[in-house]
Structure 1
Amino acid sequence: MVDTGFSSFDTMVDKANRLLKDIERANGWPKERRKQSYAALRAVLHGLRDRLPVDGAAHFGAQLPILIRGIYYDGWKPAETPVKLSVEEFYQRVREEFPYAVDGGIERVVGSVLDALQLHISEGEWKHLKSLLPNSLAAVLP
């Protein structure tokens, strides 16, 4: 547990760290690869955010832990969304934002991030998220 001296901040950091640890655990990455798990989370979140309609993106963002929400909204241009992406284009977009070579390829990375996110989002919100995506991309979500 982090001790910033302010319990609300400590809680925010702990929630963000738990999500990153879930990604690391799923990929078999040691804690020393925290930059890698952060990059994976950021790339997947941005791909989802930009594919969703503006209202859906905002609704999903509101469900994220506060620090993760900042990552999600970083650089967002709502007027330029949604961006139509096929599954292959979604993977390519994540690959462009994730500069690491990893075992299992980008599909495994995306899957591990989505699995970790699902643990931190309500079941109802997860179903709502899937309903906002085209069937081919929704099928990628656990």
Structure 2
Amino acid sequence: MVDTGFSSFDTMVDKANRLLKDVEEAFGWPKERRKQSYAALRAVLHPLRDRLPVETAVQFGAQLPTIVRGVYYDGWKPAEAPVKMSNEEFLARVRSEFPYAVEGGTERLVRTVLQTLALHVSAGEWEHLKSRIPNSLAALLP
């Protein structure tokens, strides 16, 4: 547990670290690859957020741990949402934002991160998310 001297901040950092640890465990990565788990999370969150209608993006963002929510909203332009993209374009965007070698391919990266995210949001919000994106992308969600 982190000790910032402010218990609310400690809780926020711990929740973000728990999510990153879950990503690492899903990939079988050691803790020393924390930057890579963060990059994977960010690389998937941004195109997902941009593809969603604004209301759905906001509802989903509200479910994320506070620090991860900041990452999610970083650079967002809601006036340009939703960004239309095919499954291939979505995967290409994820790949372009992930600066590491992709073990098992970009689709595996996306699926693994999304499976981990599903553990950190409510089941109802996850189902709502799946219902609001095109079927080709919904197929990537657990």
Which TM-score band (shorter chain)?
A: over 0.9
Aligned positions of 1:9-20 closer than 5 A: 9-20=9-20
Aligned positions of 1:1-142 closer than 5 A: 1-142=1-142
The amino acid that maps onto 1:130 is K
* 3-state SS of paired residue (1:120): coil
CA-atom RMSD, angstroms? 0.8
Among all aligned residue pairs of Structure 1 and Structure 2, give the percentage whose two residues are the same amino acid. Answer: 77
Which deviates more from structure 2 when the two are superposed, residues 10-19 or residues 104-113?
A: 104-113
CA distance in 1 between partners of 2:94 and 2:42 (Å): 9
Distance apart, 1:86 and its partner CA = 1.3
Q: TM-score, normalised by structure 1?
A: 0.97
Distance apart, 1:102 and its partner CA = 2.8
The aligned length equals 142
The amino acid that maps onto 2:15 is K
Deviating 4+ runs (over 4 angstroms): none
Gap regions ≥5 residues in structure 2: none
Q: TM-score, normalised by structure 2?
A: 0.97
CA distance in 2 between partners of 1:15 and 1:113 (Å): 16
